[in-house]
Structure formats: C-alpha cells, structure tokens
Structure 1
Amino acid sequence: MSTDERIVIEPATIDDVEAVADCWVALAAEQRQHGSRLAADANRTVATETIAHHVVTDGLLVARDEAIQGFVMFHPDDGAYTQTESTGTITHLYVRPAARDEGIGSRLLAAAESELAAAGVSTVAIEVLADNAAAKRLYDRRGYDPHRIELRKRLENDRHSKDDG
C-alpha cells in the first residue's frame, strides 16, 4: 500500500492547531528559498490564530496517517466588492517533504475545491511564488491558469530624513 492510500483527508479539529502551526512554520521557512518575504517563526502566533479560525469556519483540511502530513487552508471570498462570479481562495497548501510525490497535495487541493464548490464557489484562486516550479506544476496539472502577476522592486533608501540636511 502506498503512503497515499494510508492518508486520510479530513477536516482539522482544534486539537490539530499546534501540529498545523508546525507545518505552517515549515511552509513559511521553505518559501524563503522561492523569494518569500514572510518570516516563519516570528509569525507563528498570528498563524496559529488564523489556523484556529479556519478550523472553526470549516476552512482547513488535513492529510493524516499517524500524524498530520499536510494541510490546505481555504475560504469563500466575501469581500466588500461585488463580483461577477463567486470565488474562493486557497491560502495555503503544504505537504511535509517526506510525504511529497505521493499525490497528497493533489488530494488536498481536490478536497478543498470540492468544499468550495459545495459552498457555491464557481472559481478558485491560489497564489504561487514565481520561483516555485514544483507548485506551479501541481497547479497546472489541476487546471489552474495564470490570472494576475505581482511585480515588485527593491527600493534603495538612504535611511536619512530629508530634514537632516
């Protein structure tokens, strides 16, 4: 039996919050190699609060065997702007390195899409760092197309006020 067959995808519980926070910190640390500006450990508290919120609002699924091997966090969009179609966002998708290439990421993504569809969402968005080729391949295989491109530029600044003369 493959690792994938032993993994169960299910809603996270409050008891899972700390284990998912560990995964979130690992995800944030890993994303630094792809150009992320997000600090990992420094954001653990806010990430833990966000994870708990998603548990309560049914927006967090985990991949589990004896332990949590990955997670997906998502929500229907209910912003202030009226949209022409209902949308949802997958905010985080992570599989522990030792459990990768077993189809777990695809299963987590499919389960989140199913949950969002059941909530009436017709379009799903997910962000990927431009340098993360493995994630882009997964999303491409699942039918995601580029929609928006973020451009960024590092500014040089002199740390001195113009008033300092």
Structure 2
Amino acid sequence: MSDPTPPVRLRPAQDGDLDALLALEERSFAGDRLSRRQYRRHLHSATACILVATHEHRLIGSALLLFRRTSRAARLYSLAIDAAARGQGIGRRLLDAVEQQARQRGCDRVRLEVRADNAAARTLYERCGYARCGQRAAYYEDGANALLYEKRLSPH
C-alpha cells in the first residue's frame, strides 16, 4: 500500500518564497537572522543558491549556500528546518542538495559555522560527514561561540 502523505519536495527558491523564507527564519533563529533585503539579494545573485523544502506547498526548510569566485570552498550560510518537520531527514536531504550544488560549481568542500550550543545541528553535520575544524569566540550577536565545520566533497 502506498503512503498517501505528499512527499517533501526540494527546489530552488523563487521570489514568491520570500515571505515564507522570512517567517521560517524568524521561527528558527532567536537572532542573527537574514533580512528581506539579504534574501532578495541572494535570490538573484550568481554567487548564492537558496534551496527550499516544501510539503503540501508549505515551505518547511531552507538552505543558503554562498560561493566566492576565488575559492573552491562553498559556505553553508544558513540551514533552517521548521520545528514541526524536524527529525524527518529534511536537513540531511537539504545538505545532500547543497553539496551537489557545490560540486556543480566546481567546489571541493563545504564550510559552515554553527552555534556551539546547537547540539542537534552539530549532530546532523557530524553524521553527514562534516568535521570540526575550528572555533570563533563570541561570533553571534548574543555572544555565543561558533564551531567551524568542513566537509571535503568527493566527486560524483
């Protein structure tokens, strides 16, 4: 018997997703949020890729990946999953898609920062092959430390 639940769909973000991206950002992060202006800029930038996860036309996850012309490392700037959708593998699927985008752009690794006190995110990154490679003291606006992670990408 097939599952009647509609699948989660991953796709590039579109202009029409802007309000939902901002709402997800607000629900997901107490501070250090992306603004409407930043999202709008990234939506139309050649050096950024925003992917979204949707379920029944509702945005339930997003990932923002940044590229620099002079670097073979992509930077995962933001990964947000709606609280009601956590634990369903959406973060892992978004990470896989981000890594594929990085490979397509000629990158050989993905780097990211994560709050030192965000155990769930750190666990996800570590399970997906990201290795801790540093720390930044008082990185976030509330003074929290950031842990730096990196994953070397194998060619596919």
- Give the structure-2-normalised TM-score: 0.78
Task: Summarize deviations over 1:34-80 as a string: whole Å, max 9, x none.
Answer: xxxx365xxxxx611111222223510000012000100011134xx
SS at match of 1:115: helix
Task: Indicate the structure (1 or 2) with the bigger Cα radius of gyration.
Answer: 1
Task: Summarize deviations over 1:90-123 as a string: whole Å, max 9, x none.
Answer: 1000110110100000001110111111001111
Q: How far is 1:151 from its partner?
A: 2.1
Q: 1:39 to 1:90 in 2, by over 3 A?
A: closer
Code of the aligned partner of 1:62: V
Task: Indicate whether 1:144 and 2:130 are aligned.
Answer: yes
User: What is residue 21 of structure 2 aligned with on the other side?
Assistant: 20
Runs of at least 4 residues of structure 1 off by over 4 A? none
CA RMSD of aligned residues (A): 2.4
Structure 1 CA distance for aligned equivalents of residues 16 and 93 of structure 2 = 22
Code of the aligned partner of 1:74: L
Structure 2 CA distance for aligned equivalents of residues 2 and 100 of structure 1 = 20
Q: How far is 1:140 from its partner?
A: 0.1
Structure 1 CA distance for aligned equivalents of residues 38 and 13 of structure 2 = 13
User: What is residue 66 of structure 2 aligned with on the other side?
Assistant: 75
Q: 1:39 to 1:11 in 2, by over 3 A?
A: closer
Aligned-residue sequence identity (percent) comes to 30
User: What is residue 159 of structure 1 aligned with on the other side?
Assistant: none
User: What is residue 74 of structure 2 aligned with on the other side?
Assistant: 88
More strand by share: 2
Code of the aligned partner of 2:16: D
Structure 2 CA distance for aligned equivalents of residues 2 and 140 of structure 1 = 32
Structure 2 CA distance for aligned equivalents of residues 39 and 144 of structure 1 = 22
Higher relative contact order at CA 8 Å, sep ≥6: structure 1 or structure 2?
1
Unaligned stretches of 5+ in structure 2?
143-156
Task: Indicate whether 1:102 and 2:88 are aligned.
Answer: yes
- Give the structure-1-normalised TM-score: 0.74
Code of the aligned partner of 2:12: P
Task: Summarize deviations over 1:144-164 as a string: whole Å, max 9, x none.
Answer: 11112112499xxxxxxxxxx
Q: 1:99 to 1:144 in 2, by over 3 A?
A: same
Structure 1 CA distance for aligned equivalents of residues 138 and 60 of structure 2 = 33
Number of residues of Structure 1 aligned to a counterpart in Structure 2: 136
Code of the aligned partner of 2:14: T
User: What is residue 33 of structure 1 aligned with on the other side?
Assistant: none
More helix by share: 1
